[in-house]
Structure 1
Amino acid sequence: MPDTGTMRTVGRQWKSLLLDCAAWAVALYTVGWISLDFGIAANEWYPITLLVLVAILGQCIFGALCALYVNRFLPGSFNELKALLGAVLLTGVILGVAAFPVAAISSVPRSVAFISIPLAVTIIGGARLVQRIRHDARERPTGATQRTLIYGAGYLGNYLVQRMLSDRLSPYFPVGFIDDDPAKRKLRVDGIDVLGTGADLSAIALRTGATSLVISIARADATLLRQVSDAGKAAGLRVLVFPVLEEVLEGKSRLRDVREIEIEDLIGRHPIDTHIESMAGYLTGKRVLVTGAGGSIGSELCRQINRFHPEELIMLDRDETGLQGVQLLIDGNGLLTNKNIVLADIRDPEALNEIFESRRPEVVFHAAALKHLPMLERYPREAWKTNVVGTLNVLEAARAVGVRTFVNISTDKAANPTSVLGYSKRIAEQLTSWAAQQSGMTYLSVRFGNVLGSRGSLVPLFKSMIAAGGPITVTDPNATRFFMTIPEACNLVVQAGGIGSPGEVLILDMGDPVRILDIAERMIAKSGSDIAIVFTGLRPGEKLNEELMGAGEADVRPIHPKISHTYVTPISPQSLDQKAWENEMAHSVALSEVRHD
C-alpha cells in the first residue's frame, strides 16, 4: 500500500505544477483581453491559446530542470523563489520567440507575450506565498515548548528560527534574538525581534520568560562560548549550541542537533579556515596509506582523506578492533574483509616492506605511535621500538617504493623535549627530515598539542573520574596545555602534505594555552556534583607549560598566518644507538624523579 506521506508529497507536486500552468493561462488571456480592447474575437482565441500551450510546455520543461516539482524546496522559501524566477524567465524567452509567428498570422500583438511575463511571476509567486503562509500555520509548534532566546541573528540564527517555527515537533519556541552587532538592533526575522546584546541577557530572559539560550554563531571561538555560557547560566538559562555553518550548508544538521554545550566547546575552537580544499588535490586519484588508522587521530584522518576521492585508501593498524571501527566510519560496515584494511605492526619491517611493495602507496600519513608520557617514562625501550624504530621502518618502506609525500604526526612535546615521549618523537622528526634529504621528496612532520576527545586524553579521563565520584587529580594548579579538536588536527595534517617542503615541521597556531585546573573546575560545575580536586605534582618528564617551538627553531609563516614552518636537523639511522638511548633515558628519568621528590 502506498505511503500516505509520499502520496501527499506527490499530490503537492502535481498541484504546484497545475497552479503554475494555470497562472500562465490567466496571465496570457488577461493581457490578450486588455490588449485587444477588452474583448477577444473568435479568430483571436486560437493564437492566444497557442501561446498558452507554449508557456505550459516551457514551464513543465524548465520547472523540471530547476527542480521545482521534486519537493526539493520549502514552500515559499527564498531558494524556491529563485528557482521559480529562473523557470518563468526561461519560459518567457521561449514564449517571446513564439510570439513573432503568432503575431504574423493574427491580430494578437507580440507585446502580449512579454507583458504576460511579470503578471505570471506575480501570480505564481503569490500562490507560493499563500502556500508558505498555510504551511507555517499548519506546521507551527503546537506541543509543550521551551521559550528560547537565540544568540546570533546572522544566517545560522535566521535558519534556526525558521526551523523552530516550521517544525511541529520542535520543543523550542523562539521569543527573541540576542546580538552584539549594533546594526542589528532593530532587525526582525519571521516576527522575532533582536531584543538586545549579551550585556542585557539577564533582563531579557526575565522579561521574556525564556528558559533556554541557543548559541548560533557561525564560528564562535572558545572565548566567546565561555562568555556566553557563563552569562546564560547567570541568567538561569539552559545553554545550548547549534552545529557549525558548514554542516548546515551541507544539509548534515537539523533542529534536533541542537545540543548541550560541552567542555570541548569551551576549551577548543572550531577549525580555522585553512582552505584545505585548495591544498589537498594531491590526494585525489592517488593511493594513500595511513598507519595507526584505528586510533582517534588516524580514523578521523581517514575520514577526511576519503573526501578527496583517493584511488585507494589503505588503513593499517595492529589493533583489529580499531580497524573495525574505522571501516565502519569509512565503508559503513565492520566486516573486515575489504583489502583496504591491513593488520600489521610498524615494528615489523618485513611485513611493512611486503605491504608497501604490493600496494605501492604514493602518499603516506604516519599516525601510529605510543603517546602516554608516564607509561613511556617507565618503559623507554617501548618508545624506542615504536616511535623511533617503527617510524624508521615506515620511512624505509616508503622510500623503497618511491612514496612522494610522507607526513609524520608529531607532538608539541618534541619541542625542547624533557620526556621519553618527547625525545622519541623528536628523533622521529629528525629521521623524517633525513629521509627528505635522501629522497628529495616531500617528507615532513606536523606538530600539535593535546587533542580533545582522543583516546586517553584529558577530557575523557576527567569525565571518568567524575562518573566514579572523584576526586579529579590535577598535577599542578598552574599547569597549562595547548588544545585542539580532532578535526582541526587532521585538517592540518592533510593540508601539510600540500603546502610543506621537504624536511619541514609544520605547527598550527593553537592560540593561548589553557589551565588544566580551569578545565577541571568547569567540568565539575557542569556535572552538578561535589567533586574534590587533588594536586599530585608534576610527573617525571612532564613540563609545567608546554611549548610549540624548540630552541633555535624559526617561526616562519610563508603561506598561512596560522601555520608556522620550521626545520629540524636531520639524523641518519646509522647514528642511532639503542644502548646509548636507554642509558640516557634512564639517567633523565632518575634526574626527573629526584627533582620531583
Structure 2
Amino acid sequence: MLDSERTAVPDKPSIDESRFRYLIRSFPFDALAWGVSLPLAMLLRFESLTSDVSWGHIGWVIALAIALQLFYGWFLMLYRGRHLRGSFENLRTLISVTALVGITIWVLDLMFPDFIGIPRTVPVIATALAVLFMGGIRYLDRYNRQRHSKPDPTGDPVLLYGAGQVGDHLARQMMTDSNGSIRPVAFLDDDIRKKHLVLQGVPVAGTLYDLPDVAEATGATTLIVAMGDPGTDVLKKVEEAATPLGIKVQVTPSMAHMLGEGISSHDLRDLKIEDLLGRDQVDTDVSQIAGYLNGKTVLVTGAGGSIGQQLCVEINKHGPAELILLDRDETGLQATEINIRGNGLLDTDEVVLADIRDSETLTSIFQDRKPDVVFHAAALKHLPMLEQYPSEAWQTNVLGTLNVIRACEAAGVETLINISTDKAANPTSVLGLSKRVAERLVSWHGGQSNRRYLSVRFGNVIGSRGSMLPTFRSLIEAGKPVTVTHPDATRYFMTIPEACQLVLQAGAIGRIGEVLILDMGEPVSILDVANKMIAMSGKNLEVRFTGLREGEKLHEELHSDFEVEVAPLHPKISHAPVLGLCPTDLDKDAWNDMVAYDANQRSQEAHRIELESMAAVEEAKDAFDAEHVDAGKGVQV
C-alpha cells in the first residue's frame, strides 16, 4: 500500500500540549476570580465608599495576585493536570495555592505598605472570595459534565447492596456513564443509620429485608452486591432473599482486583454457585511457605490439570528459582504456561512432556533437573471410569506414584507432597483404593529415607475439570434435566485456590510419612446445589436421580475409622499417621481380588489388610524391644 493511500492517523498529543490545554482551561477563570475578588474586598472593607478606594494600587495588586496564582499553581501542579478538575483533591490544591497567594500579598503589604497601598484586611477578604469563586466555577463545570453524562434513563434499573465506599464508587461510575445500559435507583444497606443517606443522587431505601418492597417500587430486577470480598455467608443471604423474587444477583470483583485496576460496571459478573459453596479467605503463613519454596527448584507432576495448574500459580508467587511443569497433556501444559508466564510458546525447558508411568524417563528427568521440592498431582481421578478400567488406576495412581517416589529418591529430593483424595479414607472405590495405596507407599519411603515425604488429602474442588459443577452447568445451559445420583448424597467442597494454598501450607508443616487432611467445612447436599443452580439460571428444569454408582459413597469421609488424629499445627489442617507399605508387598493379584469385591467388602478388606500390617509391625517392634532389653541385662551382669 502506498503512503498516500494509508489512513492518516492523528499525532498523539505531547505531555506539554496536554498541560497547556489544562492551563488554558483553568487559569483564565482563576485570574478573573482575583480580578473580581480584590475590588470587591476593597468595597467591603470601605463599606462601598468608592471615594476611599485607591484604584491604582488595586490594579497593581490584581496583576501581582494573578502572577502569584500562576507561579504557585504551576509549582503545586494545579495547572498541570495532577487531579481531576472539580474533584476534592483538586479543591484542596486550589485552596492551598490561593492561600499562598493571599499570605504573600499580606506579608508584602506588611513589609511595604506604601508600595502595595491597600489595607491589610483586604488580602484576607479577597482570598476567601477568590476560593469561593474558583471553587464555584469548578463545581459548575463538574455539574455540567455530570449532567451531560447521565446514564440512559431507559436503562435497566438496578439496586446496590452496600452503601459503603465500594457502593459509592460504583454508583458514581454508573451515574457518569452515558453509554451505560444500567442505572442505579436505590441502595440497600443493613446499617439502619444510613436510612436517609443519598450517595451520588441515589437514596438508601432500606435493608435487605426491604428488598421485596424496594424492588416493586423501583421496578429493579437486578441486585448488585457492592462490597469488597463480601464472604460466602453474605452471598448466601443475598441469594436466599433475591432468588424467590426472580431478582438476578451480580457481584463486584475481588478487593485485590479493585485496588489494582479499579472498578466499573463492566467488571460486574453474575453470582455463581461457586460463590455460595466457597468459604472465606484462607490464612496462610507466607513466611513458612516461602521458607521451603523460595529460591528452590520445584517440580509439579500433573501440572496441566486443574489442581496442578493452580498449584503452579500459587508456587510461582513465592519466588522459586525454577518451576518445572511436568505432564503428558501438552494442551494442559500450554494453559498452565499461559497462566504463569502470559504466553503458551512451549519452547522452554520449564515445560516437560512426560508420563509418570514411564519409570526410566521420569528418573532421567529428575536426575537431570535436580528438583528440591516435588508436588505430585498427576493422577486418574474419575471414579466411574476407574471402576470400568481398574488396571489403569493400578498403572497410574499406584505404580505411577511409585515411579515418582523412586525418581525423587534417585535425585535426592528432600520434600515430596503427594496430592490425595478423601476417597482414600475407608476406600470403597477403585479410585479410593489406589489413592490409599499411594499414601502408604509415600509414607513407607519417607520413613526409609528419613525425608519429608507426605500426602495431603481433601475432597471435591469447585470447578475442576470434569467435576460435578461444570457438568451441572453444561446440562442447564443445554436445557436438559440435571442428573443427581441420590437425593440424600452430600459432598465436601473447596475452591481450587483455597485447596492449593492449604496444600502449600501443609508442605511447610507436614512431618515424615503422615497424611495431612484439609478442613473441608460442612458437607453440602448435592440436591440443594442442583436446585440452586437451576433457580439461578431462571429455567424450569427437572432433577433426575440416577442412583449411586459402583464404589460411590452416599456421604464422603475425610478420616479412616482407625486413623488417630494428631494435634494440628494449622487450624484448617489436621494430621494423621499412615501405615507404610513396602513396594515389595505390592501384589497385582491381590489388587484384582479386591477390585472384584463389592463396595462394602472393599472397605472391610482394606481395613483388614492394614490392621494385620499394624499387628505385624507391633509384633516386630515388641520382639526388637525384648531382644534389646535382654542384651542390656547381659551387659549389666
**1:12 Cα deviation from its structure 2 partner:** 7.1
| Secondary structure of the corresponding residue to residue 597 of structure 2 | helix
**Equivalent position of 1:312 in the other structure:** 322
- The change in CA–CA distance for 1:2 and 1:270 in structure 2 (over 3 A counts) is farther
Alpha-carbon distance, 1:91 to partner: 12
> Measured at CA, do residues 26 and 343 of structure 1 come closer, stay the same or move farther in structure 2, by a change above 3 Å?
same
> Are residues 3 and 447 of structure 1, via their aligned partners in 2, closer, same or farther at CA, if it must alter by over 3 Å?
farther
Contact 2:296/2:321 (8 A) holds in 1: yes
Q: Could you tell which deviates more after superposition, 167-176 or 358-367?
A: 358-367
SS of 1:250 mapped into structure 2:
helix
Query: Displacement of 1:455 after TM fit?
Result: 0.9
The TM-score, its normalising length taken from structure 2, stands at 0.76
> Equivalent residue for 2:613?
none
Structure 2: distance between partners of 1:594 and 1:290: 31
Where does residue 520 of structure 1 map in the other structure? 530
Distance 1:125 1:577 in 2: 83
Aligned equivalents of 1:41 and 1:466: distance in 2?
Answer: 78
Find out whether 1:15 has 2:15 as its counterpart: no
Whole-angstrom distance in 2 between the partners of 1:476 and 1:260: 29
Q: Does 1:459 align with 2:466?
A: no
Question: Deviations for 1:39-83, whole angstroms, at most 9, x for unmatched residues?
Answer: 8699999998997676356324xx79xxx747xx665556x55xx
Q: Does 1:181 align with 2:205?
A: no
- The equivalent position to 1:163 in structure 2, one of 157, 173, 191, is 173
CA deviation string 1:5-62 (max 9, x = no partner): 978996478516984799699889989x99x9998699999998997676356324xx
Contact 1:212 1:237 (8 Å CA) reproduced:
yes
Give a deviation string over 1:443-467, Cα, whole Å, max 9, x none.
Answer: 4433221112211101122233345
Cα displacement (A) at 1:502:
4.4
User: How far does the alpha carbon of each residue in 1:373-411 deviate from its partner, in whole angstroms, 9 at most, with x for none?
Assistant: 122223333222222222232233334434444332222
Equivalent residue for 1:258?
268
C-alpha RMSD over aligned residues: 4.5
Instruction: Output aligned runs, 1:41-56, within 5 Å.
Output: 55-56=72-73
How far apart in 1 are the matches of 2:441 and 2:95? Answer: 65
Match among 158, 163, 167 for residue 148 of structure 1: 158
Q: Against the structure 1 CA distance between its residues 345 and 332, is the aligned structure 2 distance closer, same or farther, given a 3 Å change threshold?
A: same
Query: What corresponds to 2:146 in structure 1?
Result: 136
> Residue 349 of structure 1 corresponds to which residue in structure 2?
359
1:454-493, aligned counterparts within 5 Å?
454-467=464-477, 469-493=479-503
Map of 1:59 onto structure 2: 76
Corresponding residue SS for 1:274: coil
Q: How far does residue 342 in structure 1 lie from its aligned partner after superposition?
A: 1.1
Any gaps of 5 or more consecutive residues in structure 2? 1-7, 47-52, 605-637
In the alignment, is the contact (CA less than 8 A) between 1:19 and 1:124 conserved in 2?
no
- The equivalent residue for 1:553 is 564
The aligned runs of 1:80-159 (5 Å cut-off) are: 80=89, 129-130=139-140, 132-142=142-152, 144-159=154-169
Q: Are 2:577 and 1:568 equivalent residues in the alignment?
A: yes
SS of the aligned residue for 1:139 comes to coil
CA contact (8 A) 1:59 1:88 kept: no
Aligned equivalent of 2:216: 206
Using the size of structure 1 for normalisation, the TM-score is 0.81
C-alpha displacement at 1:204, in angstroms? 1.0
Alpha-carbon distance between aligned partners in 2 of 1:350 and 1:548, rounded to the nearest angstrom: 34
473-482 vs 404-413, greater mean Cα deviation:
404-413
1:585 to 594, 601, 611: 594
For residue 205 of structure 1, report the CA deviation from its aligned partner. 1.0
Q: Which letter maps to 2:22?
A: K
The equivalences for 1:241-256 within 5 A come to 241-251=251-261, 254-256=264-266
- 2:281 equivalent in structure 1: 272
Q: Which amino acid aligns with 1:461?
A: T
- Shift in CA distance, 198/310, structure 1 to aligned 2, threshold 3 Å: same
What pairs up with 1:377-396 in 2 under 5 angstroms? 377-396=387-406
1:592–1:532: structure 2 CA closer, same or farther, 3 Å change rule? farther
Please tell me whether the aligned partners of residues 59 and 87 of structure 1 are also in contact (alpha carbons under 8 angstroms).
no
Query: Does the CA contact (< 8 Å) of 1:28 and 1:113 recur in 2?
Result: no
Q: Which stretch shifts more, 3-12 or 573-582?
A: 3-12
**Helix, strand or coil at the partner of 2:465:** coil
Of the structure 1 ranges 126-135 and 176-185, higher mean CA displacement relative to structure 2 is found in 126-135
Q: Which amino acid aligns with 2:72?
A: A
Residues 75 and 135, structure 1, Cα contact 8 Å, conserved in 2: no
Between the aligned partners of 1:25 and 1:437, the Cα distance in structure 2 is 85
Could you tell me how far 1:429 is from its partner in structure 2?
3.0
Q: Give the letter aligned to residue 190 of structure 1.
A: Q
Rounded Cα–Cα distance in structure 1 between residues aligned with 2:22 and 2:16? 10
Q: Mean Cα displacement is larger for which, 287-296 or 497-506?
A: 497-506
- Describe the shift of the 1:123–1:273 C-alpha distance in structure 2 as closer, same or farther (beyond 3 A): farther
> Aligned runs of 1:328-343 on 2, under 5 Å?
328-343=338-353
Match status 1:372 vs 2:379: no
Asked if the contact 2:190–2:206 (Cα under 8 Å) also holds between the matched residues in 1, the reply is yes
8 A contact 1:427–1:571 mirrored in 2 = no
Structure 2 CA distance for aligned equivalents of residues 69 and 519 of structure 1: 52
Partner Cα distance (1:439, 1:219) in 2: 44
Structure 1 CA distance for aligned equivalents of residues 343 and 528 of structure 2: 40
Tell me the SS of whatever aligns to 1:454: coil
Amino acid at match of 2:347: T
Question: Quick one: distance in 2 between partners of 1:336 and 1:135?
Answer: 50
Match of 1:540 in 2: 550
State which drifts further: 304-313 or 162-171: 304-313
Specify whether residues 546 and 193 from structure 1 end up closer, same or farther in structure 2 by C-alpha distance, changes over 3 A only.
same
**1:580, distance to aligned residue in structure 2 (A):** 5.4
Residue 578 of structure 1 aligns to which amino acid in structure 2? D
Could you list the per-position Cα deviations for residues 520-573 of structure 1 after superposition, in whole angstroms to 9, with x for gaps in the alignment? 2233344455544332322222111112233333264434x3x12213225154
Conserved 8 A contact 1:556-1:564: no
Greater shift in the superposed pair: 3-12 or 227-236: 3-12
Alignment of 1:428-439 (within 5 A): 428-438=438-448
Q: Which amino acid aligns with 1:341?
A: V
* Structure possessing the higher radius of gyration over alpha carbons: 2
Within 2, Cα distance between the matches of 1:165 and 1:308?
Answer: 41
Output the CA distance in 1 between the equivalents of 2:475 and 2:553.
Answer: 23
**Match of 1:59, as an amino acid?**
L
Q: 1:122 to 1:313 in 2, by over 3 A?
A: farther
Aligned-partner Cα distance in 2 for 1:396–1:344: 16
Q: Is contact 1:240–1:260 with CA below 8 Å preserved after alignment?
A: yes
Q: Which residue of 1 aligns with 2:460?
A: 450
- Aligned counterparts of 2:322 and 2:126: Cα–Cα separation in 1: 56
Aligned to 2:627: none
Match of 2:370 among 342, 360, 365: 360
1:297 matched to 2:307? The reply is yes
Do the aligned partners of residues 375 and 29 (structure 1) sit closer, same or farther apart at CA in structure 2, a change above 3 Å counting? same
- Structure 2 match to 1:281: 290
Gaps of 5+ in 1: none
Q: Letter of the aligned partner of 1:567 in structure 2? A: A
The SS at the match of 1:558 is strand
CA–CA distance in structure 1, aligned partners of residues 29 and 415 of structure 2:
61
What is the one-letter code of the residue matched to 1:579?
K
Corresponding residue SS for 1:430:
helix
Q: 1:414 to 1:141 in 2, by over 3 A?
A: same
CA apart distance, 1:319? 0.7
Distance of 2:128 and 2:287 partners within structure 1: 42
